[in-house]
Structure 1
Amino acid sequence: MSAPIPTKVHYHKQARELEIGYADGTSHRLSVEYLRVFSPSAEVQGHGGPESATLQVGKKDVGLANISRVGRYAIKLHFDDGHDSGLYSWDYLHELIQHREANWADYLKRLEEAGASREPLGIEIKQL
């Protein structure tokens, strides 16, 4: 069974959230950070399955530069960190909505295990 097709996709720039609305009146807001760290791209998900996925770090402040529709089945999100290689199908977006809490908890656990952070990496300045 395929996921419902959104009737509304709206970017709330200040909140950095993507709102996805459906014909039944339901609406869901996903943070851009969540969408970025769970990008369906091979660069993030890995070329050989989940064990080859790349943990995304420092994405807390990421935003969207643009959104493009891809046919009748997906959108392409253009993140302001330059990432834009994933296609978010309606099915994948629906899956992200349904599993948001578990996905996020797992992501935070993996960050902690890696000793990594959601905070953007600063620019190292060497003192002379």
Structure 2
Amino acid sequence: MSSTPRPLDIKVHQQSRFLDIAFDDGAHFALPCEYLRVYSPSAETRGHSPATAKLEKGKELVTITKIEPIGQYAVKIHFDDGHNSGLYDWQYLYNLGKHQDELWQAYLEKLEAVGHQRQEPELIPRDGGA
């Protein structure tokens, strides 16, 4: 049996721009679309080494337009900026959720280091966005 938790439920909340994902080990994560986009597992974003990784900027308002199941192990997320080349396997999604605070902080620090001013989107109540 695999030790990787598997998702029981995945829901996109368009207005609030979150992906809710519940795993079979009881973990539940609310992952912002922007966060998923800037941490896309695609070679386009991650590069072929940490030195060639692309810092994504200006993704504050990105939304998910479609989630496509890939076998029993992953999903392909389609974003409204045209990006759809990353396969988010269950372990990757779980790790994004588990390490969300530190990964988000690292992203903000990278933006600051290159002098990019992130525009905070208008906050929409989490319960208002299906």
Give the TM-score range, shorter chain: 0.7 to 0.9
With the length of structure 1 as denominator, give the TM-score of the two structures.
0.87
TM-align CA RMSD = 1.5
Is 2:5–2:25's contact at 8 Å kept on the other side of the alignment? no
Rg bigger for which structure?
1
Q: How many residues align?
A: 119
> 2:26 and 2:57 mapped to 1: Cα distance?
34
**Larger relative contact order (Cα-Cα within 8 Å, sequence gap ≥ 6):** 2
Gaps of 5+ in 2: 121-130
Q: Which amino acid aligns with 1:39?
A: S
Q: Which amino acid aligns with 2:73?
A: Y
Structure 2 counterpart of 1:42: 43
Is 2:6–2:23's contact at 8 Å kept on the other side of the alignment? yes
Gaps of 5+ in 1: 121-128
Cα distance, 1:51 vs structure 2: 1.2
Structure 2 counterpart of 1:90: 90
> 2:25 and 2:4 mapped to 1: Cα distance?
13
Could you tell which deviates more after superposition, 82-91 or 14-23? 14-23
With the length of structure 2 as denominator, give the TM-score of the two structures.
0.86
Percent identity at matched positions? 47
Is 1:61–1:119's contact at 8 Å kept on the other side of the alignment? no
